[in-house]
Structure formats: structure tokens, C-alpha cells
């Protein structure tokens, strides 16, 4: 029986074996641990920075932003332990067809939790209405989940790229709200300056993810797995921790602006009226 199935059954590594492979690749392992350390430091710093924030909207921006390093530390612990990494055999047509490729699928899964938090914080800062916040969050989750599907599809090379295309379409909606809708709202809300800084940082960094996906082992494989992982880790450092620090530092110093912001949130509530300030 064992003889019959030899060469047919794909290589199934245990979690301990995946962990062992990660340990052997120092560069890859380091790309995880640097982020675990930075996420930990960010959590401590942001809790400290937010200790005196009292306005509910400013507090909501804080909670949502604080979730970013909290999800990140969990995400990278999953990768470092081998829990959220698989070795997948690439289909015919792929540059590494027939080879077992290390796939960090935990990244795509946890982006579905962290990126909505970034967008919620940005939407609150811009004074967005509920409709736009909802739209940006669901399309963003769509982007991450279909990106996960692209990485995990091993039956057909064409379908991997079709998933990638669907994910890019979701991404376009996110970009539209970030670049066209929210800047107008931020102007009305009086938060244009900080919003535009964070918008540029976000758009430039986020564009890097699909580019590195396409260049990495999951795409056309011109970049090695450890380099791709470092690219994501580097983007994460700016798109998450530096982004979060800039946003929270501004909120702490401008709490009264946040508290008195004219925003569209009330207009999406039942009856259309915003609740009175208490
Ligand atoms: C994928 C591949 C498929 C096409 C597209 C992608 C976009 C990913 C993005 C990720 C952003 C992640 C961040 C994480 C921080 O926690 C899934 C790579 C469009 C934009 C900011």
C-alpha cells in the first residue's frame, strides 16, 4: 500500500517539521521575530499614550488602532510557530510547478482582521458616514479573503491569478474611498492635514503588498520566500506601527478637534438624526 501511494501523496509536513524549517531559515525567522518585538513595544506605547483620552470618538480611534499591533503579534506568532504556514505543491504553469512552496497563509488570514481596523480608524478620522465605512471594510475583507484563496489554490495556475484579479478589484474600491471620498469628508471635518498624510502613507504602502505577492514565490517567483517575507514585514512596520503612532500622536494632541468633529455618522443612523451631545 505504502509503495502504491508513493509519489502520489503530497508531502504533508507536521507542524513541528514546519517549525523546524522556519528555524533553519534564519532570515525568514528574523522577519517574524522583528515584528513580534515591534508589535509588543507598540502595544505598550499606545496603551500608555491613550491613558488620558476621554472623548468616545478619540477612544474608538484608539481601540481600533490598538487592535492593529494586537492582531499583528498574534499573526507573527502563528507564522513563527509554523501554525499558519503550509508547504503547497504548485500547479502546472507556475514557475515552481511541482515544487513544495512555503506559503505564509496566516498573513492573508490575519490581514482580514487588521486592515479593517486601520480603515475604521481612518474613516473615523475623516468623519466618514457609516455607509462608506461599511463599504470600505467589507470590500477590504473581500480583498484579503480572495488573496488567501489565490495563495491556497493549487488545482490550477490560471485560477490562482483569477483570485488575484478578484482581490485587486476589491482593492480598487478601497482605494477609491481612500483617495476620492474620504479626502472630501476630512475637509468638512477639519482633519484634512493629518488625513492626507496618513492617506498617502497608507496608499503607497498598501500598493506594495500585491506587487510583492506577484513577485514572490506565490506569484511569478522572482523573489525568494525569505525576501518576500521581509518585504511584507517591512511594509507592515510602516503601514501598521508607524502609521498607528502618527495617528494616535495626533489624536492625543488634538482630542478637542476630534470631539467636536462634524461628521456624517449620524446621517446613516435610523431616522437620520445625529444624537445630541451629552
Ligand atoms: C494581496 C494579493 C491579491 C491582490 C491584492 C492583495 C492586497 C493586499 C493588501 C494588504 C495589506 C495589508 C496590510 C496589513 C497590515 O496589517 C492579498 C496581497 C490586492 C493591500 C496593510
- The tens digit of pLDDT for each residue in 235-253 reads 999 999 999 999 999 999 9
Give the residues of the chain that fall short of pLDDT 70: 1-11, 262-278
Q: Which among 103, 113, 143, 114 is positioned nearest to 229, based on CA atoms?
A: 103
Computed on alpha carbons and rounded to an integer, the radius of gyration of the chain in Å comes to 21
Q: How far is the CA of 116 from the centre of ligand 1 (A)?
A: 12
What is the per-residue pLDDT across 59-96, written as a single tens digit (0 to 9) for each? 999 999 999 999 999 999 999 999 999 999 999 999 99
Rounded Cα distance, 208 and 64, in Å: 23
Q: Which among 150, 140, 158, 31 is positioned nearest to 88, based on CA atoms?
A: 150
Q: Which among 139, 263, 96, 138 is positioned nearest to 191, based on CA atoms?
A: 263
Q: What is the DSSP string of 73-125?
A: HHHHHHHHTTTT-EEEEPPTTSTTTTSEEEE-HHHHHHHHHHHHHHHHHHHHH
Pocket probe for ligand 1: among 75, 143, 242, the residue whose CB has the most ligand atoms within 8 Å is: 143
Angle at CA of residue 69, ends 235 and 122, nearest 5°? 75
Half-sphere exposure of 97 (CA within 13 A, CB side): 9
pTM (predicted TM-score): 0.91
Q: How far is the CA of 8 from the centre of ligand 1 (A)?
A: 34
Which atom of ligand 1 lies closest to the CA of 168? 19
Bridge partners (DSSP) listed for residue 103: 86
pLDDT given at position 273: 42
Pocket of ligand 1 (CB under 6 A): 108, 111, 114-115, 143-144, 147, 150, 164, 167-168, 171, 206, 209-210, 213, 236, 239-240
Q: Which among 226, 94, 234, 105 is positioned nearest to 154, based on CA atoms?
A: 94
pLDDT given at position 263: 66
Rounded Cα distance, 161 and 202, in Å: 24
What are the start-end ranges of the E strands in the chain?
Answer: 86-89, 100-103
pLDDT given at position 8: 53
Amino acid at each position: 500500500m505504502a509503495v502504491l501511494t508513493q509519489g502520489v501523496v503530497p508531502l504533508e509536513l507536521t507542524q513541528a517539521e514546519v517549525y523546524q524549517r522556519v528555524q533553519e531559515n534564519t532570515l525568514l525567522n528574523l522577519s517574524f521575530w522583528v515584528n513580534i518585538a515591534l508589535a509588543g513595544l507598540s502595544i505598550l506605547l499606545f496603551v500608555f499614550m491613550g491613558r488620558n483620552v476621554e472623548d468616545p470618538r478619540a477612544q474608538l480611534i484608539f481601540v481600533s488602532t490598538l487592535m492593529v499591533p494586537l492582531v499583528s503579534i498574534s499573526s507573527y506568532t502563528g507564522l513563527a510557530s509554523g501554525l499558519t504556514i503550509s508547504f503547497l505543491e504548485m500547479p502546472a504553469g507556475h514557475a515552481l510547478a511541482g515544487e513544495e512552496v512555503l506559503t505564509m497563509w496566516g498573513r492573508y488570514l490575519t490581514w482580514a482582521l487588521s486592515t479593517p481596523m486601520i480603515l475604521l480608524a481612518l474613516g473615523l478620522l475623516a468623519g466618514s458616514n457609516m455607509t462608506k465605512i461599511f463599504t470600505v471594510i467589507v470590500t477590504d475583507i473581500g480583498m484579503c479573503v480572495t488573496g488567501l484563496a489565490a495563495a491556497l489554490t493549487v488545482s490550477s495556475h490560471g485560477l490562482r491569478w483569477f483570485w488575484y484579479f478578484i482581490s485587486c478589484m476589491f482593492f480598487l474600491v478601497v482605494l477609491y474611498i481612500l483617495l476620492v471620498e474620504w479626502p472630501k469628508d476630512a475637509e468638512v471635518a477639519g482633519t484634512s492635514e493629518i488625513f492626507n498624510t496618513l492617506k498617502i502613507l497608507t496608499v503607497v504602502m498598501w500598493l506594495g503588498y500585491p506587487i510583492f505577492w506577484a513577485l514572490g514565490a506565490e506569484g511569478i517567483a522572482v523573489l525568494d520566500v525569505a525576501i518576500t517575507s521581509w518585504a511584507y514585514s517591512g511594509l507592515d512596520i510602516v503601514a501598521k506601527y508607524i502609521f498607528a503612532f502618527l495617528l494616535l500622536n495626533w489624536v492625543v494632541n488634538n482630542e478637542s478637534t476630534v470631539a467636536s468633529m462634524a461628521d456624517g455618522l449620524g446621517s446613516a443612523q435610523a431616522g437620520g438624526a445625529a444624537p445630541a451631545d451629552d
